[in-house]
Amino acid sequence: MPNPYGAPEVSVHDVTAKQREGTDFLLVDVRERKELELASLPEGEFISMPLSELRERRLDALPDELRQNKEADVVLFCHKGLRSAQVTVFLRQQGWSNAVSMDGGIDAWAEEIDDSVGQYASM
């Protein structure tokens, strides 16, 4: 489903294909740190960059791997894809033209790729 922000998206299947092929890209989780306890990819597979920190500190909140390379392929994700779409639009406005949002977020990952990452309890 297209996001309301108009951010370009990739599917969870596209992301796993990039991983299998050894494509060089940054996988960035924009969820809050407490959300990592609810559902998370294995440590070391992603960079954590909570949206709240980005809102407070703007570009200073960007991890070095991202800040130092505006040409990097960047895939952002969150719970369902809305926050990552917001950050994708922000990064593209700042010059990261290869930033995309992972459609469906970590929920889609758990449903379609690996249920061991966990899912949020029904709300």
Question: Which DSSP state fits 86?
Answer: H
**pLDDT by residue for the chain (123 residues), tens digit each?**
678 899 999 999 999 999 999 999 999 999 999 999 999 999 889 999 999 999 888 888 899 999 999 999 999 999 999 999 999 999 999 999 999 999 999 999 999 999 999 988 754
Amino acid at 52: S
Quickly count: other Cβ atoms within 10 Å of residue 69's Cβ: 13
- Domain at 29-115: CATH code: 3.40.250.10
Q: What pTM does this model have?
A: 0.93
**Domain coordinates of the chain in residue numbers?**
29-115
CA–CA distances in Å: residue 55 to residues 61, 71, 76, 87, 88: 8, 22, 16, 10, 13
